[in-house]
Amino acid sequence: TEPAPASAAPAPAEKKPELVSEPLVTNIYTADPSAHVFNGKIYVYPSHDIESGVPQNDNGDHFDMKDFHVLSMDSVGGEVKDNGEAINIKDIPWAGRQLWAPDAAEKNGKYYLYFPVKDKQDIFHIGVGVSDSPVGPFKAEPTPIEGSFSIDPAVFKDSDGSHYMYFGGIWGGQLQRWATGTYNPADTYPENDKPALSPKVAKLKDNMLSFSEKPRDLQIVDKDGKPLTNGDNSRRFFEASWMHKYNGKYYFSYSTGDTHNIAYAIGDNPYGPFTYQGVVLEPVLGWTNHHSIVEFQGKWYLFYHDSSLSGGQTHLRSVKVAELHYNPDGTIQTLSAFKK
Ligand code: FUB
């Protein structure tokens, strides 16, 4: 055979964008950042991690958060303001324990903070608080959103002004206890070769305080249209739903939990089905991986967290931001948290 011409040298390994990023704030621990642009500013709605002394377990009891602080900034890389306490668990009448990952939305000059918290029977539901300001204080509604369950609400505003809530999380997030449609304290997972448990989606009513429909399953399928299976741990949904729209397509992104990736899938409408594409963010320092994706001044950003500020303590995390890049075909370039 002929020797290969010099110009046919092996292609260099795909160069991933480097992720070198500092915590947005260091005065408190923050996690699960949901970023939005309201009135030309970026507002980040994170969990507020604390050390409450509860021992670590697979249910996530050590994530024992009690309030939220909203962060704001005029530019990425500019000063980040911690706007102080926006709501406290003691002011949520139905709450028991564990304020987990929140999100927020704006409509007609009112701001809505959506949050999962366990009720007094230790069952997760999703609540909402209302404010005239994006940074609160938020006044909690007296009861959870009717028909809500599990964790990690993400509220997406579509181009026609409709709002949809995406939610759910397995293991400590209790989604598996709702597999039959009603709460069953025994964990029930599908067989490994059966479709994985689906995240949920429900359109919100105009009042932003309730669902306008029974939550539907959001299907994530492979390139052949087959649902991802329960045993497909490196790709199946675990928690941390997020929705964004790019060039008219709907991008559903989420954490794969025990395999620690932020993955994404693309669909043609807010309900799906969504076809699995790949990984947005590889595992970070710490067990959890949770993110949001937002466009600001013509650039796209990934807000995420890791545990670097606490030296790796999994329940003491810090929110960070990195620019996100798309390929010409609309796929997302994978970000790697650790330099290779
Ligand atoms: O922060 C508590 C929980 O950890 C969140 O709800 C999950 O998404 C995971 O990040």
Please report the pLDDT score of residue 10 as a whole number: 43
Q: Tell me how far apart the alpha carbons of residues 286 and 110 are, in angstroms, rounded to a whole number.
A: 35
Long-range pairs of 179-183 with CB within 8 A, sequence gap ≥ 24: 183/123, 183/149
Give the residue among 111, 163, 158 at the shortest CA–CA distance from 134. 111
Adjacency order of strands within the sheet including 67-73: 29-38, 41-49, 67-73, 81-88
**What is the structure's pLDDT at 3?**
36
Q: Is 68 in the pocket of ligand 1 (CB under 6 A)?
A: no
Residue 15 has pLDDT above 90, yes or no: no
HEC string of 36-53 equals EEECCEEEEEEEEECCCC
259 phi/psi in degrees, rounded to 5: -110, 0
pTM higher than 0.90 for the full model?
yes
Please say if 32 is a catalytic residue. yes
Atom of ligand 1 nearest to the CA of 116: 6
With pLDDT > 90 as the criterion, what percentage of the chain qualifies?
93
Alpha-carbon gap, residue 153 to 257, rounded angstroms: 16
Q: How many A from CA of 173 to the centre of ligand 1? A: 8
pLDDT score at 263: 98
Does residue 47 have its Cβ closer than 6 Å to ligand 1?
Answer: yes
Tell me, using a 6 A CB cutoff, whether residue 219 lines ligand 1: no
Q: In the block, which residue shows the tokens 């995406």?
A: 166
Return the SS3 of 60.
coil
Give the amino acid at 25: V
Q: State the Cα–Cα distance between residues 214 and 162, nearest whole angstrom.
A: 16
For residue 67, the one-letter residue type is: D
**CA gap 24, 303 in Å, rounded:** 10
Q: Of 18, 239, 323, 329, which is the active-site residue?
A: 239
Cα-to-centroid distance, 304 and ligand 1 (Å): 12
Single out the catalytic residue among 32, 64, 67, 306. Answer: 32
pLDDT value for 4: 37
Place of tokens 């642009």: 37
Q: Given a cut of 60, is residue 5 above it in pLDDT? A: no
Please give the Cα distance from 314 to 49 (Å, whole number): 10
Catalytic site includes residue 224: no
Give the per-residue pLDDT at 20: 59
Residue of 48, 49, 63, 89 to mutate, ligand 1, most atoms within 8 A of C-beta: 63
* Mean pLDDT, residues 112-119: 98
Token representation of residue 149: 């369950």
